[in-house]
Amino acid sequence: MFLLSSCQETYQLRFELVTPAGFDLQQDVARLVISAGEQTRVVTCTSADCPFDVKFSFTEGETSRVSVHGYDADSQLVAAGYSPSFVAVDGGLDLALFLGPIDRGSTIDALFEAAPLDAALAPLLTSDDGALTSNVGTLIFGGREGETGDATPVDEVWFYDPYLLSLVSLAPLTIPLAEPAIMDLRDGNFLLFGGRTTGGTISGAMLFYATSSVQAAGSHVISLPAETAPVPTAGARTVELGPFDGLFDQATGTYLLDAFLMLSGETVDGSEAPITWVLVYYSLASATTTIVTRPTGLTLPQGVHAQAVRLDDTIVRVFLPEVRQFLTAAVDVGTEGLEFRLDPMDAPGLPVRSGWRLLPLGDRLLAVAGRDDQGRCTGEIYDVDPVGQTLRGLDSRNSHCESALVRMGALVLEVGGVDAEEGLHGATAWPWTLGDGGLSLQGPVSIPLARERIRPQVFVMPTGAVAVYGGLVQAGGSPEASLELIILDPRKSQEPK
């Protein structure tokens, strides 16, 4: 345990440095540079000791962040770690900071308690500005746990706390769920629809889950009229059109706060699922929020991935690669109230593939294909322009299937999965740029994982680390229950600000 504190001793930052198994601080690092804001301290390490004993001065109310960089005997950066941002307040703060080797995965929790398969993940955000400082942790809803891929759905909800690098158990879901659709209401509350529950049954319940202290924490089922309730689905995708500011609906006399589309998903009888609007209304008169669902006449088969780019305050364009379509979704202000519009358009030139992965990069989408109709991993990569509704092939020699995509600053990471010969893949990082010619990926850098896996789940922590957890140890194999962190070289990605 290491201590950083103010000179006046009114504020204490109790600071634990966490290192992964196999990383020897004394042997691998010759010098540590510890910074907090503009303040910097240097610690010299020897094979016998690395005396981490430093003090910083903070002003009460000041926002800061601690960074630690480790250099070897040749002054090469070999390790790094960052805390989330914090505010100096009377009474102090406990922090755990992960210091690990750069550009490789390091296991931090070999027996991660959250269910390793098919959980719903959502960052807990304090604002929508896109900054890492707005992310205060990650919520993990449900999932499946057990020794095999046929594991049992659970009702557990966890919060991964980046300040202490630990899981915090929250109030459970009303029912066990795996593969629910999730919608963030932007106020600490979430909607979860469908998913698989006990016995593999596909649920048709809409759950409201509250994390806010203003409301009783936990979930309850929202009653929906049978004639407008969504078709029960598992694994449906969601796209958000809002949130909206002051969008008044003359027809209902209420304000539309947000709107989502639920798309695709597996149905009970195997039929295509209707695309469904999920609308969040607020009444000033009664100070109540109401959830309204509106199935449309458009349907999609299961397994369709979806990602949207905003065109206007109330218009998004959705890319649906498995059905080779763009879909314009809009909320229009009509003379008699709000009108909800869906306009599909074909995306010519796209091959028929399953298992696409999509990642927004500016106003473009990076699209990585999965398998062809013979089950072969093809992995074509496309620069998709949803605004112009065009696409352009990129160099696909280093892509994979059954992986996960995530952006960290100037890098795109493809994590896990298999190559064309079905060999396991660690991670690949591509520097990316967006210019007049569109999206460009530079030469890839291979990043080894501590534990290779397929279909992992990934999320970016407010420390700037990329967290990788769950998935399978191999196709059809047992779940991989560990969590590992990737600390990227800050000179290639971005150091957290």
What are the structural domains, with CATH classification, of the chain?
A: 2-101 (2.60.40)
Does the pLDDT value for residue 127 go beyond 80?
no
Does the pLDDT value for residue 1 go beyond 70?
no
- Nearest 5°: the CA angle 425, 426, 432 is 100
- Separation in Å, CA 462 to CA 160, 368, 427, 495: 11, 26, 20, 11
3-class DSSP assignment, residue 192: strand
Residue 87 CB-density burial (10 A; 0-12 exposed, 13-18 middle, 19+ buried): exposed
d(CA 420, CA 397): 10
Per-chain mean pLDDT for the chain: 90
At 28, which helix (H) or strand (E)?
helix 25-28
Contact 192, 211 (CB under 8 A): no
**Using 50, 70 and 90 to split pLDDT, how confident is the model at 5?**
very low
- Nearest 5°: the CA angle 148, 221, 128 is 85
Q: Which pLDDT value is given to residue 2?
A: 41
DSSP letter at 377? Answer: B
pLDDT per position as a tens digit, 159-181: 999 999 999 999 999 999 999 99
Residue range 209-235: average pLDDT?
A: 88
Residue range 209-236: average pLDDT?
A: 88
HSE-up of 95 (CA within 13 Å, CB side)?
27
Does the pLDDT value for residue 496 go beyond 50?
no
**Using 50, 70 and 90 to split pLDDT, how confident is the model at 59?**
confident
Residue range 74-96: average pLDDT?
A: 86
Tokens for 301?
């088969």
Contact 428, 447 (CB under 8 A): yes
Long-range contacts of residues 413-417, Cβ cutoff 8 Å, at least 24 apart: 413/447, 413/458, 413/466, 413/486, 413/488, 414/357, 414/368, 415/449, 415/456, 415/458, 415/466, 415/468, 415/486, 416/449, 416/452, 416/453, 416/454, 416/455, 416/456, 416/468, 416/471, 417/454, 417/455
Does the pLDDT value for residue 9 go beyond 70?
no
d(CA 173, CA 177): 8
Contact 256, 331 (CB under 8 A): yes
DSSP letter at 489? Answer: -
pLDDT per position as a tens digit, 396-419: 777 899 999 999 989 999 999 999
Contact 463, 98 (CB under 8 A): yes
Contact 237, 264 (CB under 8 A): yes
Tokens for 305?
């991935």
3-class DSSP assignment, residue 322: helix
- Separation in Å, CA 151 to CA 118, 190, 293, 479: 10, 25, 31, 9
d(CA 88, CA 132): 18
pTM over 0.85: yes
Does the pLDDT value for residue 75 go beyond 70?
yes
